[in-house]
Structure 1
Amino acid sequence: MRRLVLASLCIIAGVGALSSQGFAAQPDVDPLTELFGGAPATAPQGAQGRPQAVAIPREIVASPGSYAPGTVVINTSERRLYYVLGNGQAVRYGVGVGRPGFEWAGVRYISSKREWPDWTPPAQMLRRRPDLPRHMEGGINNPLGARAMYLSGTLYRIHGSNEPETIGQAVSSGCIRMTNDDVTDLYDRVKVGTKVVVTR
């Protein structure tokens, strides 16, 4: 039960209210440094091969629009993420998205990438949920999963999940979650600076 509760959390506290047109102003303090300081954890032996439920199969489909190759397009109402390949094609993945009240849309860029990221809940979240751990090392039990790609100017990220059955659901606080297998595949395709278009 504790793991399920942790997996349902996406650390957004302190980001400020988001309007339907876009994002809160970027905080003065780099949120990635503030929340995720230090080097990423090393994956536990054999963690990459942990059996994963595949809620929605990854497949090559028609591109969702006239986006440049290398663009990530997330359709939150469809609960799908597209990585544009070019020549009218894209890789389509199933994703989990923000629950009601945490939906958002806009254009961001991947500002940082981490393998098996640690998780440090912010003070605001700990005040609401004092039962949460103060810090979790990266690994198969961490709610951020195998990989994380941080979205510029926000505390949101595209990340893996240790609860793959939630893929295709609206359960997060705004982050985009994927199975560990899918997030690893996407992580290997994208670079820091990749454009991410989120639509509703």
Structure 2
Amino acid sequence: MNEIIHPSRMKLLEATLGLIREQGYAATTVEDICRRAGVSKGSFFHHFKSKEELILGAVEHWNQFTTEVFEQAPYQSLADPRDRILGYVDFRMAILDFEVPEFTCLLGTLVQETYQSHPSIREACDFGMSSHIGRLAADLEQARAHYAPDADWTAESVGYFIQAVLQGAFIFAKAKLAAETARENLRHLRRYLEMILPAEC
């Protein structure tokens, strides 16, 4: 059962998700977040002791939100684990139809800026990304057992590779202010997965 979040706290969390993906950690101030959320600084400090505590709350909120999104995605209903993996990539490509800040990853954005300066944020981002990879790896392991039982790769290593391609694709989307390069990267990723998980004749 989901915990009920106070409306002002939820506004602050949602504002943080948007601002961090738009302009990064360092460029986002508490004043920016309060303005976007439509709440006072007093309300901010009622819910959070610091910007870092808010960011940690936003990471947790992001992880819960994205877990629900992917658990409810259409590809999850597919019976074949290979189809689910390829469906996951297709789903990520479909998300690229949104504006750049809407499809980029909060965790990837944060960890690039804070991995040395804010270890607690780095650890929270690592946990979120690794947990997502763990869920992918479950399908990858089933697919490997059926389609490539003699393969010398592990499900976990391919899960990390998938996420590395995604994070790199997001960086290029930001650099070019467009999704087409990112979309082509995911098409190549799909071809690679089809190659290492060859369909039965």
Shared fold, TM over 0.5: no
- Greater strand proportion: 1
TM-score by length of 2: 0.25
